């Protein structure tokens, strides 16, 4: 049995979906989580649902996260939310640099790094998203893009304990398409090399360096992806909205731990 620190991290990103009643029902359906040491669950709902989910999941080992944060602690930033406040209302993680924020809100690597640093100051674990577009994949520069985004999007404060990288090919998000298993493994090997190159913060930490895969993960493909070397968990959008699917994906962690053979 893996220890807690080597459990696969299964993160749900609800995006702009969900409501209070649905959040309570989701928490109830999730129960105490998977009951397995192979998977650690995190749910990232829209900001107004963080407290509701955190309260409903109190006492379980399912953690709650946010989808974005501002770089400042407080101030005249209408519509923004600080990492400090997210932590105060029950978040333990925050996603930064998701491709939908990079594309829809013009977020660049330096801003993503500043947001991750703010998350660290607030005691949150930053889930930093990187990933190539289809044109970049077709142009043969996926590895270079991911390497450069990791370099530019991780602040000096990043360690294996406070930072998780999520490799999400932009073209795989919400599309039903995924890279091949060998393409995923190739990017994860390179992402781990990029983290190792940052030195002791990632190589001598109590926590292992973690790189998640995201983009069209569902119960049917989770086990084979989670079984890949260098895949330390998954970041799940659409399939995280239903508790049964989310738990089905988490079960893939157990199948992966058993060598990629589905338990069923």
Does 168 participate in catalysis according to the annotation? yes
13 vs 84, which CB is nearer to ligand PGA? 13
Q: For 246, what's the count of Cα atoms within 13 Å in the CB-facing half-sphere? A: 27
Burial code (b: 16+ CB inside 10 Å, e: under 16) for 222-238 equals bbbbbbbebbbbbbbbb
Provide the binding-site residues for ligand PGA, judged by CB under 6 A.
13, 168, 173-174, 214-217, 235-239
Alpha-carbon gap, residue 142 to 145, rounded angstroms: 5
Minimum CB separation of residue 227 from ligand PGA in Å reads 18
Residue 18: C-alpha distances to residues 47, 53, 202, 252 (Å): 11, 11, 35, 24
Catalytic residue among 132, 168, 188, 192: 168
User: Is there a catalytic annotation at residue 183?
Assistant: no
* Contact (CB, 8 A) for 230 and 191: yes
CB of 96 to ligand PGA, least distance (A): 12
Instruction: Supply the minimum distance, in Å, between the C-beta of residue 170 and ligand PGA.
Output: 9
Q: Return d(Cα 98, Cα 77) in angstroms, integer.
A: 20
CB of 240 to ligand PGA, least distance (A): 7
Active-site residue (options: 98, 120, 188, 192): 98
Helices (H) and strands (E) in the chain, counts: 11, 8
Question: Which residue sits closest to ligand PGA, CB atoms considered?
Answer: 237
Nearest to 239 by CA among 189, 173, 162, 192: 173
- Choose between 155 and 215: whose C-beta lies nearer to ligand PGA: 215
Judged by CB, which is closer to ligand PGA: 237, or 256?
Answer: 237
Name the residue nearer to ligand PGA (CB basis): 13 or 163: 13
Catalytic residue annotation: 98, 168
């Amino acid at each position: 049995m893996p220890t807690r620190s080597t459990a696969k991290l299964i993160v749900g990103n609800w995006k702009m979906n969900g409501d209070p009643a649905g959040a309570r029902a989701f928490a109830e359906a999730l129960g105490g989580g998977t009951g397995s040491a192979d998977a650690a669950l995190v749910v990232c709902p829209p900001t107004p649902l963080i407290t509701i989910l955190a309260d409903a999941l109190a006492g379980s080992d399912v953690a709650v996260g946010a989808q974005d944060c501002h770089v400042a602690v407080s101030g005249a930033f209408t519509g923004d939310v600080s990492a400090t406040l997210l932590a105060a209302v029950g978040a333990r993680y925050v996603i930064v640099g998701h491709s939908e924020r990079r594309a829809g809100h013009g977020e660049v690597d330096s801003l993503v790094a500043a947001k991750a640093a703010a998350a660290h100051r607030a005691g949150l674990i930053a889930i930093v998203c990187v990933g190539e577009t289809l044109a970049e994949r077709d142009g043969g520069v996926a590895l270079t893009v991911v390497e450069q985004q990791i370099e530019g999007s991780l602040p000096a404060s990043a360690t294996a304990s406070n930072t998780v990288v999520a490799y999400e090919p932009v073209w795989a998000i919400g599309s039903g398409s995924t890279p091949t298993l060998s393409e995923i493994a190739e990017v994860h090997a390179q992402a781990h090399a990029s983290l190792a190159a940052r030195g002791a913060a990632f190589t001598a930490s109590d926590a292992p360096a973690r790189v998640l895969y995201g983009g069209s993960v569902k119960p049917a493909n989770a086990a084979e992806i989670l079984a890949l070397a260098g895949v330390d968990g998954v970041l799940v959008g659409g399939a995280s909205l239903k508790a049964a699917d989310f738990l089905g994906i988490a079960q893939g962690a157990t199948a992966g731990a058993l060598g990629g053979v589905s338990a069923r």
